[in-house]
Amino acid sequence: MPISENDFQINSCSGVASESFQDLNEIQDRIEFFLHESLPQCVKYLPGHGDGSIKRKAEKELAGSLCKLLQAIAFEKKVIFTFFNEDLDTYKKSRTDDMTAIPFVGLAYLRVGPFYYNCQDQLYVIEAKRLPAPTRAGQGDRSREYVVSDWNNCASPTKNRTGGIERFKEGLHGGNFVRSAMIAFVQQKDAAHWLSQVNSWITDLIIKAIPSHKASWNKDDHLIAVPCSPVVGMSDFQSTHVRADKKVPITLRHYWLHLN
Residue 131 CA to residue 79 CA, distance in Å, equals 30
pLDDT on residue 123:
95
pLDDT tens column, 45-66? 998 776 655 456 788 999 999 9
- The answer to whether 7 touches 118, Cβ cutoff 8 Å, is no
Quick one: pLDDT at residue 54? 42
Helix (H, G, I), strand (E, B) or coil at 4: strand
pLDDT < 50: residue spans in the chain: 54
Cβ atoms 256, 234 nearer than 8 A: yes
pLDDT per position as a tens digit, 132-167: 998 776 666 789 999 999 888 888 998 888 899 999
Q: Give the count of beta carbons closer than 10 Å to the beta carbon of residue 17.
A: 18
Per-residue pLDDT, 53: 53
Question: Can you tell me the distance from the alpha carbon of 135 to that of 212, in angstroms, rounded to the nearest whole number?
Answer: 23
Task: Give the model's pLDDT for residue 86.
Answer: 85
Task: Give the integer Cα–Cα distance in Å for 199 and 221.
Answer: 8
